[in-house]
């Protein structure tokens, strides 16, 4: 195996790991282990740009956090992403349909599009989770799964399949992540009482933006 192939495999395994981290934070309330990890060191980021700003803000949020940070963040998660205590007006529930559909409701056209893409790649969401497929966490997990499959394709030296999967990822990032994550970030900022989730949203958007750019550059080579 060439050094270039080894680098591609390692790069895509790292991409999968990062996408899974992002998915885990948006899927449910943080636990003590996640908080300990986030407090230990800044999130990986380039030297400048949106990811860097988000990483620095996340690190500051935990350095200055109150002793009851776990409880505070669980309450904040419920307020932001579960719309706890929100009885009218816009919400920040993390479903693409809510942000891209004309009606602003769940199970709209975006969900059907995401389901079709998942099925085409033989990816399914556990029905026991009882949540529409266009949840931000499921979309990020989809990117993680494809990143692992790209690494596996490079291990087989199957360049055609690796490139096909990268094309799927680039399109999905543009059409089903970056098309609504910035709007979600605005609502998260409006509902949050703690600094963590707005900062992490900034980091997540920065990562997806940088990753989409990396995919397009790689495909162009």
DSSP 9-48: HHHHHHHHHHHHHHHHHHHS---HHHHHHHHHSPPP--SS
Specify the pLDDT at position 66: 81
pLDDT tens across 144-159, in order?
999 999 999 999 999 9
User: Any idea which of 19-33, 59-73, 158-172 has the lowest mean pLDDT?
Assistant: 59-73
pLDDT tens across 111-121, in order?
999 999 999 99
Q: What average pLDDT is seen over the chain? A: 94
Specify the pLDDT at position 104: 67
pLDDT tens across 31-40, in order?
999 998 888 8
Compute the CA torsion angle 119, 121, 127, 77 (nearest 10 deg): -120
Q: Evaluate if residue 90 carries a pLDDT over 90.
A: no
Q: Evaluate if residue 132 carries a pLDDT over 90.
A: yes
**Residues 81-107, mean pLDDT to the nearest whole number:** 84
pLDDT tens across 57-68, in order?
999 998 877 889
User: Any idea which of 18-27, 55-64, 116-125 has the lowest mean pLDDT?
Assistant: 55-64
Specify the pLDDT at position 67: 84
How far is residue 73 from each of residues 28, 32, 91, 109, 186, measured CA to CA in Å? 11, 11, 18, 32, 18
CA-based nearest residue to 150, from 16, 4, 2: 16
pLDDT tens across 185-201, in order?
999 999 999 999 999 99
- Give CA–CA dist 133/106, Å, rounded: 10
């Amino acid at each position: 195996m060439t050094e270039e192939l080894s680098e591609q495999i390692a790069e895509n395994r790292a991409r999968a790991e990062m996408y899974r981290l992002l998915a885990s934070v948006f899927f449910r309330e943080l636990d003590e282990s996640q908080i300990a990890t986030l407090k230990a060191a800044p999130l990986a980021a380039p030297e400048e740009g949106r990811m860097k700003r988000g990483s620095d803000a996340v690190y500051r949020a935990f350095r200055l956090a109150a002793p009851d940070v776990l409880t505070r963040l669980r309450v904040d998660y419920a307020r932001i992403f579960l719309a706890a205590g929100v009885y009218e007006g816009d919400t920040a529930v993390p479903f693409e349909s809510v942000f891209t559909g004309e009606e602003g409701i769940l199970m709209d056209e975006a969900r059907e599009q995401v389901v079709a893409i998942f099925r085409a790649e033989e990816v399914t969401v556990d029905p026991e989770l009882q949540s529409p497929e266009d949840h931000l966490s499921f979309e990020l997990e989809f990117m993680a799964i494809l990143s692992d499959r790209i690494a596996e394709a490079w291990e087989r030296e199957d360049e055609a399949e690796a490139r096909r999967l990268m094309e799927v990822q680039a399109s999905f990032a543009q059409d089903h992540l970056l098309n609504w994550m910035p709007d979600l970030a605005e609502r998260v900022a409006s509902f949050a009482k703690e600094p963590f989730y707005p900062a992490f949203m900034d980091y997540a958007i920065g990562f997806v933006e940088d990753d989409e750019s990396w995919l397009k550059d790689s495909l162009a080579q």
